[in-house]
Amino acid sequence: MSLSPVSAGIFVVERASTFVLQLGFSALMWQMLRERSRHALVVLIAAHALVGLPAALFQARLVPLIAADAVYLVLGVIVAVALVRYYRRAAAAGA
């Protein structure tokens, strides 16, 4: 059994987006714990549930796979840009 180029591309987008979102969740959790935010756990649980929504909609056959993965791609890019900006500012402030 082999993957078509389209399936392989979708797989790469899913895995890359998942990795970036996990990095974003980890950074957000670390920052919220450092600031001793009382709402950190609630915010992260809600964010995690919302991130799972496109996959759930796909599994319920309410949206096509390409639409769900497009959402993950956009979210991954947003989180990646936010992480880069945040850590560049933090590095500049610390230097």
**Distance separating alpha carbons of residues 6 and 12, to the nearest angstrom:** 10
Q: pLDDT value at position 1?
A: 64
**Distance separating alpha carbons of residues 23 and 81, to the nearest angstrom:** 12
pLDDT digits (tens, 9 = 90+) for 45-74: 898 889 999 999 999 999 999 999 999 999
Count how many domains the chain has.
Answer: 1
Q: Give me the domain span that covers residue 84.
A: 5-94
Q: pLDDT value at position 15?
A: 92
Q: pLDDT value at position 95?
A: 60
**Distance separating alpha carbons of residues 56 and 8, to the nearest angstrom:** 21
User: CA–CA distance from 31 to each of 43, 51, 55, 86 (Å)?
Assistant: 12, 19, 27, 11
Query: Which has more confidence, 3 or 27?
Result: 27
90 pLDDT higher than 90? no
Task: Please state the pTM of the whole predicted model.
Answer: 0.81
**Distance separating alpha carbons of residues 34 and 40, to the nearest angstrom:** 10
Q: pLDDT value at position 78?
A: 93
Token pair belonging to 89 = 């500012």
Token pair belonging to 74 = 């956009």
Q: pLDDT value at position 94?
A: 79
92 pLDDT higher than 70? yes
Q: pLDDT value at position 74?
A: 94
